[in-house]
Amino acid sequence: MSGSLDYQQLSSTLQQLEEELRRLGWWEETPPEPSALASTQPFHADTLAFQQWLQWIFIPRVRELIANEERLPGRCDITPMGEVAWREEQPEQVEPLLFLLRSLDRQLSSDT
């Protein structure tokens, strides 16, 4: 992924993801404790809910990569984690989020 249009599309998808998390009331105003953000587990699964990981780790990190025009991950596969994390939620509630995660997976996995 190298063109500015790719960065623009990715930025747009991240913004849509943030908006959807806000719509669901899952966007938090107060950050987690620093120790929760320091986890070494995948998705910080031992200290954060998946939506917290998206808000406090994933979205800011990808936005930073875009802002600095750094190389983006060559592969992304976060949709399965969303499917597991939100399996107890109403499907119609989380499907828009899963759609956006699938889009991010495709965008971040399309080029290296």
pTM for the predicted model, two decimal places: 0.90
Q: What is the mean pLDDT of the chain?
A: 92
Tokens of 39: 């986890």
Backbone angles phi, psi at 24, to 5 degrees: -80, -5
Contact indicator for 94, 82 with CB cutoff of 8 Å: yes
Task: Decide if 111 contacts 13 (C-beta within 8 A).
Answer: no
Residue type, 72: L
- Considering the domain delimited by 4-26+48-109, tell me its CATH architecture: Up-down Bundle (1.20)
Band of pLDDT at residue 57, cut at 50, 70 and 90: very high
Neighbour tally for 14: CB within 10 Å? 20
